[in-house]
Amino acid sequence: MDISRRDLGKALGGVVLVGAASDARAVDGPPGGVTLIRGGYVMTMDAGRGDLPGADILVRDGRIAGIGRGLAVPEGAAVVEAGGMVVLPGFVDAHTHGAISQMRGLYGNTRETAFFTVTNRLLAHYTPEDTYIGMLLSAVESAASGITTTADFFDNVRDRAHAEAGLRALQDAPVRARLLYGMKSKTDADPIDLAHVAEWQQGWAERSAGGRLSLGLAWRLPQDLDDAAAWVIKAREWETARRLDLPMQVHVSGTVPGRATAMFDALIARRMLHAGLQVVHGTDARDDQLAALEEAGAGLVVTPLTEHRVGYGPTRIDRFDGVRRRGFGIDGSALAGATDMFALMRLAALTQAGAARDETAVRPRHLLEWATAGGARALGLDAQTGSLVPGRAADLQLVRLDSLNLAGFDGGDPSALLVYSARPEDVVAVMVEGRFVKRDGRLAGFDAATLLDRARQSLRGVRARAG
């Protein structure tokens, strides 16, 4: 297993992945082993189960086999002491753009250095290797920060080699992931390679890294909503996703006044909302549009960090209380600043209270619900992940409570502490499908220095080619 990982690294011009040690993540092998996580403050994020202080979690074959106090230690089980820590489901990042993660620091908020200007220009000069390193870096940073599921809106599929590079990145990634297969570029004349998507979908079992990966469509509405020719292409993509039973995401957003609500209206008028579709952003959505979304059983993903940064308007999560399937997305670490679900929850909480002029408008646990079970519901993955329930995947994180920024906390409900005070570095351990991908504060199987070096080289090359 390690040999193939090393060969892949070499093929891409440098050894990205390390670790002949047993902690290196298998690429596609079945999860195995028995682990007992003992004595943590367990937040199941399941409405019926609630919190269990001082409880144990038994993990077997990648799944949660039991939760309760004083569980017996099965023979041969590895025991992980979680006393003084919070154990909660891994965060679900329901929408991101992994490929841009090496562009951090380039967006300077001037007209010339604005996000879309810089990104679209540089993405045109990506090689498959740049795609690979960006998407892998994004997934690794996710794992390090407590995210165990990510949905990568992969919309720079310049050719099939780029597609394969993106798939390899997620196969090598330490987290559960959905690859949303998108367009060659963001112009309407460059549609999605639907034949390739269909080919992948047919043989998805071999591509899915043992079921850890799922496939979907990164779908876009026409740039001009009155462009009939573009609609023909978009409708074909939408129908193909429906026929192949693939989930899909679509951006409903814009800084031009009225654009986002017109996009939402187009989806409703054309009866394109359905349970397999997630609307991303929708910050300006009207109540009747949200009601139509809910009636169709569709999902909603909001991305407060990036919505604020590019000026889509304040993300008022209380506006979406009527939507059952809703979650948070990082929306590209380079634009969000960092893959930091704690910062995202904090921003959403502060925006809500600030706008309401009412501190008590916010329930910290509600933010955690959005970031875990809610995101899994939005993606249609809630039977697998997002809450700690026997039978579901062991996708979870351990948060230490003894760092300076958490000082003073002495027990009780940790929701406010996690939302207002915690940081990604407080996540000391992360488990995906029963395997620790982060342990004792360190990533398993990845060397950060090597990744950083590869990201820097990638960006240098892209900028040189872009002139």
Interface residues with Zn ion (CB under 5 A)? 331
Tell me whether residue 158 or residue 438 sits nearer to Zn ion (CB atom).
158
CB of 280 to Zn ion, least distance (A): 5
Shortest Cβ 420–Zn ion spacing (Å): 26
Q: Which single residue brings its beta carbon nearest to Zn ion?
A: 331
* Structure-block tokens of residue 373: 């079970």
d(CA 238, CA 318): 30
CA-to-CA distance for 441 and 452, rounded, in angstroms?
18
Minimal distance, residue 97 CB to Zn ion, in Å: 6
Q: At closest approach, how far in Å is the CB of 396 from Zn ion? A: 26
CA pair distance 460, 1, nearest whole angstrom: 31
CA distance 251 to 281: 6
Strands 213-219 and 176-181: parallel
Q: How far is the CB of 331 from Zn ion (least distance, A)?
A: 5
Those residues whose C-beta lies under 8 Å from the C-beta of residue 205, and which sit 6 or more positions away, are none
Of 16 and 180, the one with the shorter C-beta distance to Zn ion is: 180
193 versus 331: smaller Cβ distance to Zn ion: 331
Query: Please, which residue, 155 or 433, has the CB nearer to Zn ion?
Result: 155
- Quote the least distance from Cβ 300 to Zn ion, whole Å: 13
Nearest distance in Å: CB 263, Zn ion: 13
CA–CA separation, 309 and 391 (whole Å) = 39
**Pairing relationship of beta strands 299-302 and 277-281 according to DSSP bridges:** parallel
Give the 3-state secondary structure of residue 146: coil
Question: Nearer Cβ to Zn ion, position 93 or 331?
Answer: 331
Give me the DSSP letters along 86-136.
EEEEPEEEEEE-GGGGGGTT---SSSTT-HHHHHHHHHTT--HHHHHHHHH
Output 141 or 331, the one with its CB closest to Zn ion: 331
Q: Which is nearer to Zn ion, 141 or 426 (CB)?
A: 141
CB of 58 to Zn ion, least distance (A): 38
Closest by CA to 135, choosing from 157, 102, 113, 90, is 102
Rank residues 279 and 396 by Cβ distance to Zn ion and give the closer one: 279
* Phi, psi of 21, rounded to the nearest 5 degrees: -70, 165
| Rounded Cα distance, 20 and 1, in Å | 9
